[in-house]
Structure 1
Amino acid sequence: MPSHRRIPLLVPVVLCAAAVLVARPTTADGQPGGDGTGGGPGSGLSAQVARLYEEAAVASQEYEAGRVEAEAQRVKVQRLEQLLDRERREITVLRDDLGRIARAQYRGSGGLPVAAQLVLSSSPDELMRGQRVLSRTNLVVDTAIGKSRRAENRLAADEARAAGARRALERRIAELAVLKKGIAQKLEQARWQLQGQADASVAAGSCRGAERLDGPPTRDARKWVVPVDGYTLSAGFGSGGARWAGRHTGQDFAVPIGTPVKAVGAGRVVRVSCGGAFGIEIVLQHADGYYTQYAHLASVAVDQGESVTAGRWIGQSGTSGNSTGPHLHFEVRVTPEMGSAVDPVPWLAARGAPVG
């Protein structure tokens, strides 16, 4: 956190000026940085990118939750479709039954309506038998017709319910997609604006002031962590390449511009510099005597001389300096200078922060 010093009003102005110079970020040569724009948490483009990352994370969580909900809704729709198919088959059977009843009635009466048969009956017994036949026939027909109508009404209601569920599902997925796309577009634009500031700092050879980032509360009790989240491992320690004078001296973590970079362990900031092959870089000194370097950054969130804890956001990844694409170049050294690097992957694994 930035330090706040109360300076008595009687202190000479020259001491105030000296204090300002000490507070300014320095270059790799230890010279004062350029026109610092550092502010409190929440100010500036770096903080905007950090907030958009958080919004993107929330949007992704909501999208994932929506996807799970959509999958559950899809299962419900499938069940409704199965129910509709069963109901359609039942209605077909009912209609077939009505057809059979009608045909049987026609054959049993010799082609005459039942009422006509009653009129033409020759005795009271025949008349009573005819009435009973008519009553049973009407009951069977009325029951079949009522059952068929109820089934058809139920089918229509279920079809409407299934269609509504499908429309709600499609609408939900579309809303989530629009939300996610909008945040992604804002984030991508802000990323490259941030990288433009970084490139200008590197070209000038002086760093902008540290911009504090309100990172999430550190709940991880581990003493050592991996420097970035959501990474893909790219160039490894000791690998060859046309862009290096010798072998690669660190481990590259491919991440988008603006990804928060964390201190892998507690330590003190011994270097914040802008310029040269590493672009914007931070070097930390740890209590066990090792140093860690974080290079090709787009912004810094700490000042030289500041103490940090494990997991603290110290900057944002970028592609400044000698870099072919957005990534974090991470080194572990036995001195603060280049040329003393050791393989950072087993070094982190030995401290309980495996990379993979």
Structure 2
Amino acid sequence: MNHDVEPLPATMRAAIWEGVGRPLVLEEVPVPRPLDREVLIKVVACGVCHTDLHLLKGEVPFPAPAVLGHEVSGIVVELGGGLDDSGLEIGMPVVGAFIMPCGTCRQCRRGRDDLCPVFFEQNRVHGNLLDGTSRLRRADGSRISMYSMSGLAEYAVVPVAALAPLPPEVPLEEAAILGCAVFTAYGAASKGGLTSDDSVAVVAVGGVGSSIIQVAAGLGASPIIAVDVDDDKLEAARALGADIVVNSTREDALAAIRAAVPGGVDVSFEALGRPETFELAVASLAEGGRMVAVGIAAGAATAAVPITPVVRRGQSIVGSFGARTREELPRVVALAADGGVDLRRLVTRRFSLDRAQEAFAALAEGRISGRAVITP
């Protein structure tokens, strides 16, 4: 491990979001400093995710000005207090998960980091870290909200509970997507009880959907059916492990799924958050099937689900926002280290920090297959 970390600069570049309809703009701001049980990392890469795009479009409320970016990899450059038991060292490569659990609430004590109310209240509602304050300020001292660890910057403060070390066999830049795309996929597979005996449909194969396909293939599920509207994404999905691909603009997706697996699939995953894809994922289930809802919807979107078939056929619908950080982030890293997910294949495009707005425009227009990353 290289402990020769350069001295911290006084300022850094960050992509500032001023609110709905406003573009991301690079700005020099003071480098944030970690407090107790926090770590400062030099960001190597930050993933380009639809969840950030929802904020940019005003589909999910969040206080501006803010620095977005919740999927990061980087190098530890400073440790806050109380970290003697963390195992982290200066110079260590790490990945950060977007769910940053407090570790002490009732849900965290039960091992349900993914339900931590402190994280959701402080970070997702108010744009703070877990102690109720933001680490980010402008040069004039005015506050900047943080979305998770605010990875669209050169440095980021991350609670230690949201970090995992990276072994040398995991590529550092591509490892950023472990913290959301693959982390979310792993959590979805876990909540769906996915096994090697299951047939699978993945509806929408962007960054998260592509990761679900790899995780499902790694677990031996078969057949794996990928549904999308984009041929390039579907071909990428086939390369990642999908056995059958369906373009729903040219054929009846439900009929295609049932033709491939008579009676329906054992587990379906919905990774976009639109009513029509949600309804398709439920309709594709076999008796006793499990539908895992992963995609975040715009605003108060709802889906129409027939009640009686769900009841009579013993089906279940479960939501999955992410995995359990402290327990499952290390498992996600181990999966990547063992070759269970091919990060280099999943990461398809790279943008510099000054092109962050361009990256999200490409995502909004459906021009990114797999996952893109921004490299400060």
TM-score scaled by length of structure 2: 0.18
TM-score scaled by length of structure 1: 0.18
Compare the two structures and name the one with the higher strand fraction. Answer: 2
Q: Which has the larger radius of gyration?
A: 1
